[in-house]
């Protein structure tokens, strides 16, 4: 049913607030005990953020020796609206463990509309990558997998950001910008110019190389600059993406967007601060913590190599597991086949929020999304916290 809002003027409208409160109270008092499953708002929320989706793999493209692009179509045909830079969360059962992993959607929003809608994720795999290894070995065309979408706050916003975008990417951090490049090339980000500075170690680490070159060769508004740090014979730009290079490709008032590793983030942040770029012009994706937590500032080095016991309370159930000082509490839970719902995996989204009953943790300085009240009452995020002693924690039941 369409609703109408009458604007009567500031004073009359604000004086109406007490009446609204009365109205709300009477609605609450007369509300049925059971939730209205046919409620419009509830249905809309479910369309925009479905809790569980089942996807079918409809194609797998070998983009390079180490990269595969999985094209996914939801079994019910509905793809919620998303923005370039947002991610989907895959839910995978590996052995006894249920793992959740975020993957940036590498296809463009316009490809999720029309007659043959789909989403894609680009997965990079090198030896020892646990989840990519599983995806590469396990999934074939026709298989199904579970997940949900969309999540994340890393996207270009026309009211806030400039139409001149300098994207700085490292490794698999190229995926949000690939999605954006497709959207620009399709003419849907009107007036936007996208320059991508893409850092990789070696040429065979470059993801979506041909696809990006295809886009930049057909669209004047897209420029891609490859920068390799570890290949002396590379004919293009070599070294790290620093102040000089960022300056060379910047334009007045441009917006900088970054997606890459923890180490690269520090480097880029320094370069931007040397260039005196105000924080409002810099946006970054979730920064993953380094694989070696001991390099994070403030980490007590004497804890390295230790093992601790974690008592895990889930409702009436209590388990005891072991955790190494070098793994997050979330990883220790997953290894012990105790399900924990994670999305961003770096303290930003709050999905894994749990309770620290006793013990001491180290919280990543780039992934500390705790509210002040959490800090006082023991709320913490297992995805961005490492044990520093034996712990007792309470986690939500999944
Ligand atoms: S998964 Fe997002 S805060 Fe832990």
**Residues 172-191 pLDDT 10s:** 999 999 999 999 999 999 99
Q: Which domains does the chain have, with CATH numbers?
A: 50-151 (2.40.30.10), 164-284 (3.40.50.80), 295-394 (3.10.20.30)
Can you give the pTM of this predicted structure?
A: 0.87
Average pLDDT, integer, range 69-83: 95
Higher pLDDT among residues 4 and 345, named by residue: 345
345 lines ligand 1 (CB under 6 A): yes
- pLDDT value of position 98: 85
User: Which pLDDT score is estimated for 123?
Assistant: 95
**CB-ligand 1 contact for 349 (6 Å cutoff):** yes
% of the chain exceeding 90 in pLDDT = 75
Closest CA to 391 of 286, 274, 310: 310
- For the stretch 17-38, pLDDT in tens is 777 888 888 888 888 878 777 7
> Is residue 8 packed enough to be buried (19+ CB in 10 Å), middle (13-18) or exposed (0-12)?
exposed
Q: Which atom of ligand 1 is nearest to the CA of 383?
A: 4
pLDDT above 60 (res 1): no
Label residue 7 by pLDDT band (50, 70, 90): low
State which of 103, 350, 374 you would mutate to test the pocket of ligand 1, scoring each by most atoms of that ligand within 8 A of its C-beta.
Answer: 350
How do residues 38-47 score in pLDDT, each as one tens digit? 788 888 888 8
**Are the C-beta atoms of residues 264 and 170 closer than 8 Å to each other?**
yes
Ligand 1 pocket member 343 (CB < 6 A): yes
The atom number, within ligand 1, closest to the CA of 352 reads: 4
CA distances from 201 to 176, 205, 207, 241, 297 (A): 19, 6, 11, 12, 25
Distance 276 CA to ligand 1 centre (A): 31
Find the angle CA(356)-CA(358)-CA(361) to the nearest 5 degrees: 65
> Ligand 1 centroid to 395 CA: how many Å?
13
The tokens of 269 are what?
A: 């942040």
- Which of 88, 100, 349 for a ligand 1 pocket mutation test, highest count of atoms within 8 Å of Cβ? 349
- pLDDT higher than 90, residue 130: no
Instruction: Note the pLDDT tens digit of each residue in 262-315.
Output: 999 999 999 999 999 999 999 999 988 888 999 998 999 999 999 999 999 999
Query: Is 352 touching ligand 1 by the criterion CB < 6 Å?
Result: yes
Check: CB of residue 236 under 8 Å from CB of residue 227: yes
Digit-coded pLDDT (tens) for 228-261:
999 999 999 999 999 999 999 999 999 999 999 9
Instruction: For ligand 1, say whether the CB of 370 is within 6 Å of any of its atoms.
Output: no
């Amino acid at each position: 049913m369409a609703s109408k809002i009458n604007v009567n003027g500031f004073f009359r409208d604000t004086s109406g607030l007490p009446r609204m409160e009365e109205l709300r109270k009477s609605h609450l008092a007369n509300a049925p005990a059971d939730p209205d499953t046919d409620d419009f708002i509830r249905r809309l929320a479910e369309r925009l953020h479905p809790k569980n989706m089942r996807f079918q793999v409809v194609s797998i493209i070998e983009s390079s020796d180490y990269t595969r692009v999985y094209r996914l179509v939801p079994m019910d045909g509905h793809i919620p609206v998303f923005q370039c830079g947002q991610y989907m969360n895959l839910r995978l059962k590996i052995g006894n463990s249920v793992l959740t992993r975020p993957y940036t959607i590498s296809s463009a929003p316009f490809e999720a509309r029309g007659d043959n809608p789909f989403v894609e994720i680009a997965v990079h795999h090198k030896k020892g990558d646990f989840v990519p290894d599983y995806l590469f070995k396990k999934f074939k065309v026709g298989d199904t997998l579970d997940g949900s979408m969309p999540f994340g706050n890393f996207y270009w916003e026309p009211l806030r950001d400039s139409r001149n975008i300098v994207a700085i990417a490292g490794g698999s951090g190229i995926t949000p910008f690939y999605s954006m490049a497709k959207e620009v090339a399709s003419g849907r980000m009107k007036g936007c110019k996208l320059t991508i500075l893409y850092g990789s170690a070696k040429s065979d680490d470059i993801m979506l190389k041909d696809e990006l070159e295809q886009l930049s060769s057909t669209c004047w508004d897209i420029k891609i600059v490859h920068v390799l740090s570890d290949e002396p014979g590379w004919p293009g730009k070599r070294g790290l993406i620093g102040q000089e290079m960022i300056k060379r490709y910047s334009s007045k008032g441009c917006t900088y967007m970054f997606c890459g590793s923890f180490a690269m983030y520090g480097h880029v942040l320094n370069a931007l601060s040397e260039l005196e770029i105000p924080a409002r012009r810099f946006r970054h994706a979730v920064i993953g913590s380094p694989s070696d937590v001991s390099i994070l500032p403030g980490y007590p080095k004497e804890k390295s190599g230790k093992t601790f016991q974690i008592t895990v309370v889930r409702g009436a159930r209590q388990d005891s597991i072991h955790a190494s000082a070098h793994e997050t509490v979330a990883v220790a839970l997953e290894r012990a086949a105790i399900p924990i719902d994670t999305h961003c995996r770096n303290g930003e989204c709050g999905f894994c929020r749990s309770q620290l009953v006793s013990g001491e943790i180290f919280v990543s300085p780039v992934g500390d999304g705790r509210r002040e009240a959490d800090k006082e009452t023991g709320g913490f995020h297992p995805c961005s916290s490492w044990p520093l002693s034996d712990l007792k924690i309470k986690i939500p039941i999944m």
